[in-house]
Amino acid sequence: MIKYISRSKIIQCNRFFGTRWSSTAALVGKAEELVEPSKTLTRETMNPFIRNAEYAVLGDLPARAEVINKTLKTDPGRFKFDNVIFCNIGNPHIFNQKPITFFRQVASLCENQDLLKKENREIVSKLYPEDAIARAETLLEHIGYLGAYSDAQGIDHIRKNIAKFIERRDGYKADPESIFLTQGAGEGIQRVLSMLNQPNHPQTTGVMIPIPQYPIYTAALQMMGAEPVPYYLDEKKSFALDLSRLQKSINEARQRNIHVRALAVINPGNPTGQCLPKENIRDIIQFCHEEKMVALADEVYQDNIFQPKDHPFHSFKKVLMSMDPKYSQHQELFSFHSVSKGMVGECGRRGGYVECVNIDPGVMEELYKVFCIFSGSNTQGQIMVDLMTNPPVKGDPSYPQYKAEVDAIHTSYHRRAQNLADCFNRLEGVTCEHAKGAMYLFPQIRLPKKAVEEAKRAHMSPDSFYGMALLNATGICVVPGSGFGQEPGTLHIRCSFLPEESLFDKLCKNIEQFHKEFMMKYKD
C-alpha cells in the first residue's frame, strides 16, 4: 500500500536525496501523458474530504521506502544497506514473529474441513492436539457454512465468548447483544465516528483526539467532513492526560462553533506507550459525563503491558462500572479491541470487535443496519477473535505451548522496547520515554538550526527531513511525529520496536552512526 506520490514530491526528494527516483518520475510522467483530459472523476473533481485526508503511517517516507525496497531487488548494490526495515507500522508478522500455534491449527482445521472427517481422524489426531480439533468442530457447528455470510453483528457463539472474556477481565457482566464483530478495530472506529457525525447540524461535528494520536481518527473524521479537536498529552509527565488541557481544548473548539460530541482515548497509547492509571480514567469519564460527550476507548494494546505492577491496564468499561450509578448506568462508551496487536499480531486476518455500553437502543438498531449494509465482518477474522478471547487454559493439551509462545513474545517485546529506548537516549539532543505498553517509541529530537533551515528549503517538516535522511542512509523507515501531531516547537519520530531481536544490535548501531553524522553535518 503506497500513498499517492505527487510529481512535486518526487522532484523534491530527488533534489535533496539524489536522483534515485528518476525512474519513478519517468513513469509518473508517462502516466500523466496517458491521462485523458475528459475524465469525469479526477483529483480535482473527487470528494475533497477524501483528497485532503492524510495517513502518515503510510505516507511519503513509507512510499519512498517501498521504492527503495523494489530497487534493492533488482540492483542490490545501489544502497549502503541490504534491506529496508519497516519500523513505520505495527505489523508483527512482517518481522517473522511466529504465529500462535494453537490459533493457526484451529484456523487451518476450520478451513480444510476434510481433515475432520471420520476416515481422517486417526491421521489428524497425530498432527493436531485434541483441544484444537475440538475447538474447530465447535466453531464450525456454530458457524454453519464457513464461506457464507455470518450474521451482520457477528457469529452469536463468538460474541458470547467475547462477553465471557470481558466479564473475566473486568468482573462485570457483558451483553453479547452489545458486541459487534468488525474488520479489525479500524472498521469499528469508522462506523462509530460515522454514527456520531451530524452533517446537517448548523455546527460542525467535533471529536476530541489525543495529540500525539494514531492518525486513523483524524483521517476518518476528515473524510466525513467532521473536525478533529486535538488535546495535548503532557510529555513532561510521561504523556499523561491532563484535565485542564481537555477543558481548554473543548472551550476553544466551542468558540470556533464546533459541536464536540465525543472524546477518544488510546490506552495503552499509540504512539506514546503510556498506560493510564485508574484515577485518570475515572476523571475522563466524569469529564465526558459533565460535557455530554460519548467516550471512545481504543484498547487494542491491552495485552502489551510491560510494567504490570506499577502501570497495569485498566479498561474503561471496568472503571465505568465501578463508579456511581449516574455514570455507570448512563455514560455512553464504545470500546475497541483487535487481533492485530497484543501477542497475536494477526493484522491480515482483520478481526476485531466493538462493545457498546449505555448506548440508546435506537442507535443500536441503526448500527446493526449499517453492519447489514456492509454484510458484516469476515468469518476468518471472527474465528481469530474467538481464539484471542478464549485461548487454551491450564489443563488443556495446548496450554503449555500456548503459554510458552505468548510469554516469549511478550518478554522479547519488553527487551526490545528497553534496548531501543536506551539507544535513542544515547543520541545527542534526543530524549525518549520508556514504553509502558503498546509497540512503539516516540523520541523527541532536537535538530540544529541548519537542519531545520535545510528542511524548509526542501519544503519538508524538520522531522520528515530527518526521517527521510535516516531512511536513505540506513534503510530504517520511521514516521515523522508531525504525522501524529505534536506540541508546537517539538519534533519527534515514531519507531516500532518490532524488528527481530537478532537485528537489534545492528539496528541500534546504524541509528547511532547515522545520527552522529547527521548532527555533525548540520552542526550550528
Q: Which of 389, 414, 432 is the last residue of a domain?
A: 389
Residue 435 shares a structural domain with residue 348 = no
pLDDT in the model for residue 18: 47
Q: Does 158 share its domain with 306?
A: yes
pLDDT in tens, 78-123: 898 999 999 998 899 988 899 999 999 999 999 999 999 999 988 9
Chain-centroid distance of CA 410 in Å reads 18
Which helix or strand (DSSP H or E) is residue 285 part of? helix 278-290
Can you tell me the distance from the alpha carbon of 88 to that of 476, in angstroms, rounded to the nearest whole number?
Answer: 9
Q: Same domain for 362 and 488? A: no
Determine, yes or no, domain membership for 141: no
Query: How many domains would you assign to the chain?
Result: 2
Tell me, what CATH number does 308's domain have?
3.40.640.10
What CA–CA distance (Å, rounded) separates 250 from 246? 6
Of 389, 415, 442, the position where a domain reaches its end is 389
269 and 156 in a common domain: yes
CATH code for the domain of 79: 3.90.1150.10
Q: What are phi and psi of 334, to 5 degrees?
A: -115, 130
Phi, psi angle pair for 422, to nearest 5°: -60, -40
Tens-digit pLDDT profile for residues 462-518: 999 999 999 999 999 999 998 888 999 999 999 999 999 988 899 999 999 999 999
Residue 220 and residue 345 in one domain = yes
Q: Cell for 458?
A: 526542501
Are 464 and 357 in a shared domain?
A: no
Same domain, 376 and 416: no
Confidence (pLDDT) at 144? 87
CA distance linking residue 487 with residue 470, whole number of Å: 23
Confidence at residue 37, expressed as pLDDT on a 0 to 100 scale: 61
| C-alpha span between 171 and 239 (Å, rounded) | 28
> What are the backbone dihedrals phi and psi of residue 521, each rounded to the nearest 5 degrees, phi first?
-65, -40
Residues 6+ apart with CB under 8 A from 253: 206, 208, 227, 229, 260
On whether the CB atoms of residues 183 and 175 are closer than 8 A, the answer is no
- Same domain membership, residue 435 and residue 350: no
The residue with cell 459487534 is 180
Can you tell me the distance from the alpha carbon of 454 to that of 16, in angstroms, rounded to the nearest whole number? 9
- Domain membership of residue 493 (yes or no) is yes
Measured between alpha carbons, how far is residue 348 from residues 3, 21, 90, 92, 271 in Å?
19, 30, 12, 10, 21
Q: What pLDDT digit, counting tens, does each position of 439-463 carry?
A: 999 999 999 999 999 999 999 999 9
Q: H helices within 426-503, ranges in order?
A: 449-457, 462-474
Tell me the pairing of strands 179-182 and 204-211.
unpaired
Regarding whether 249 and 189 lie in a shared domain, the answer is: yes
509: containing domain: 60-86+404-522
β 430-431/444-445 pair status: antiparallel
Residue 144 lies in a domain: no
Q: Is 510 found in the same domain as 381?
A: no
215 and 307 both lie in a single domain: yes
Residue 295: what are its φ and ψ, rounded to 5°?
Answer: -95, 135
According to the model, what pLDDT value does residue 342 have? 87
Distance separating alpha carbons of residues 88 and 500, to the nearest angstrom: 15
Lookup result for grid cell 450509578: 325
pLDDT, position 26 = 47
Predicted confidence at residue 32, as pLDDT, reads 52
Extract the residue ranges of the chain whose pLDDT is less than 70: 1-37, 55-58
* Grid cell locating 379: 468469518
- Cell 448500527 sits on residue: 367
Residues 6+ apart with CB under 8 A from 343: 100, 303, 304, 405, 406, 409, 410
In a domain, 24, yes or no: no
In sequence order, which residues have a C-beta less than 8 Å from that of residue 263 and are 6 or more positions away? 207, 208, 246, 284, 287, 288, 291, 293, 294, 295, 296
Q: Measured on CA atoms in the order 168, 172, 178, 183, is the torsion positive or negative?
A: negative
What's the confidence (pLDDT) of residue 214?
86
Concatenating the DSSP letter of every residue in 17-71 gives H-STTHHHHHHHHHHHHHS-TT-SS-TTTS-HHHHH---GGGSHHHHHHHHHHHH
Domain-terminating residue out of 389, 414, 449: 389
Question: What number of other Cβ atoms are within 10 A of residue 314's Cβ?
Answer: 21
* Torsion angles phi and psi, residue 21, rounded to 5: -100, 15
* pLDDT at residue number 125: 92
Measured in degrees and rounded to the nearest 5, phi and psi for residue 359 equal: -95, 140
Q: What is the helix (H) or strand (E) element at residue 379, kind and residue range?
A: helix 379-389
Q: Which of 251, 281, 247 is nearest to 266 (CA)?
A: 281
122-145 in b/e form (b: 16+ CB < 10 A) is: eebeeebbebbbebbeebbeebee
DSSP-derived 3-state class of residue 81: coil
Query: 503 and 364, same structural domain?
Result: no
